[in-house]
Amino acid sequence: MKINIIGGGPAGLYFALLMKRQQAAHEVTVWERNAPDDTFGWGVVFSDKTLAYLRDADEPTYQAITRAFATWDNVDVVHRGEKITIRGNKFSGIARIKLLNILQARCAELGVDLRFRVNVAAPERLAAECDLLVGADGVNSEVRARYSAHFQPELSVRHNRYIWYGTRQLFHGLTLTFHETQAGVFAAHSYKFDETTSTFIVECDEATWTRAGFEAQTDEETRRYLAAVFSADLHGHALLSNNSKWINFLLVKNRRWSYNNIVLLGDALHTAHFSIGSGTKLALEDSIALARCFAHEQTVLAALAEFERGRKPVIEEYQHAAYESLLWFEHARDFVHLAPLQFAYSLMTRSKKIDYENLKRRDPEFIKAYEAAISGARLALPPTDANPS
Ligand SMILES: Cc1cc2nc3c(=O)[nH]c(=O)nc-3n(C[C@H](O)[C@H](O)[C@H](O)COP(=O)(O)OP(=O)(O)OC[C@H]3O[C@@H](n4cnc5c(N)ncnc54)[C@H](O)[C@@H]3O)c2cc1C
């Protein structure tokens, strides 16, 4: 089979190597507009479950990834300067560039043809000369746009603004920090992903963004402003830019996932808000699911139909949880009146995937403290008909 893949991100590279591993005779080419060492952003995260899938799909990639990553099991919620730790949430972080380099090396080892610094402007030409064209070209996919009449994408630009930085301050565990300022509420999502660096994503609503005056600020002024907002958390460390820009999250769904011999994969196909840390995980798991369909089905069309049939419900479930989480962050200002423990509980249960029972299993101490806090709050209320003493 001749396979062309547009996009050498996690989805494109992993699918390429899995197909080549399945059948050495496949001719697999990845077309990537960047150089191998170009990247945006900092670190990405995986859950334990994803790592188990990676191990089953390709042991050498799994071994290389697990040698390079940082792991933790705590979520820390910082509100009103108080840190609440919730255990039992196992995650691993890795630098995005490190992950890409591991996947590139494994592709090269297996004989995938990697073509860097090629911006594909006419996907139809590549589609015509192969058995399968994969649009793994990210959130602003050209392939999706070119065939939008067939894929029927639903794109929604969300309300909050966010910006992706790094910092040398090491946050051990996923740390969600909130500060209420005169301009409004700022949230930071941060986690250490190697020995020296943490990802630090800042998010705020549009009104806060406008009041803070970011529109007129340079990159350096913005970083200084945000470093001052989070000074108690950064302990004097600067925010590091990597061509960082304020953006609005783009929620992507597609009614149809393939058209003739063309299929979308990863962020081109669907996005899930970064607050549930699933973008890279879903991209890699898409690749595993699609490669499996080619192992079982006889024709390209049958494999693509099977991919959509089996994978779509899984993606819809993640997108639903991610959407609930996104809404919580869009309305963070409505929750900041809560005391730290109640605030942390609300945050942990925001996606509705984790509930009281689940949290109790993960971290009984946290639930004990939370229950003590709410019964304490009840006792402190003046007696009324609705709240008898
Ligand atoms: C702020 C933020 C934080 C995030 N945090 C996390 C996190 O903590 N954990 C996590 O798992 N995920 C995270 N993600 C998401 C993650 O980065 C993506 O979901 C993931 O990289 C998707 O992989 P992909 O291969 O589908 O797309 P991408 O990684 O976007 O790769 C697409 C590739 O296609 C190339 N390309 C595009 N168009 C063309 C063209 N015409 N010709 C040639 N090449 C082209 C691009 O250069 C790029 O290399 C985050 C994203 C953002 C924005």
Residue of 32, 114, 119 to test ligand 1 pocket, by largest number of atoms within 8 Å of CB: 32
pLDDT tens-digit profile of 150-190?
A: 999 999 999 999 999 999 999 999 999 999 999 999 999 99
Sequential DSSP letters for 94-160: EEHHHHHHHHHHHHHHHT-EEE-S---S-HHHHHHTSSEEEE---TT-HHHHHTHHHH-EEEEEEEE
pTM of the model: 0.93
Is the four-CA dihedral 28, 33, 37, 38 of positive or negative sign? negative
Task: Judge if the beta carbon of residue 328 lies within 6 A of ligand 1.
Answer: no
Q: Ligand 1 mean position to 138 CA, how many Å? A: 5
Regions of the chain where pLDDT drops below 70:
39-41, 378-389
Q: Ligand 1 mean position to 267 CA, how many Å? A: 6
Q: Ligand 1 mean position to 45 CA, how many Å? A: 13
Ligand 1, residue 45: give the atom nearest the CA: 9
> Which residue is closest in CA terms to ligand 1's atom 19?
279
pLDDT recorded at residue 389: 37
Task: Judge if the beta carbon of residue 285 lies within 6 A of ligand 1.
Answer: no
pLDDT recorded at residue 376: 79
Residue of 54, 137, 161, 242 to test ligand 1 pocket, by largest number of atoms within 8 Å of CB: 137
pLDDT tens-digit profile of 241-283?
A: 988 999 999 999 999 999 999 999 999 999 999 998 889 999 9
pLDDT recorded at residue 135: 98
- Domains in the chain: ranges and CATH: 2-40+94-156+250-330 (3.50.50.60)
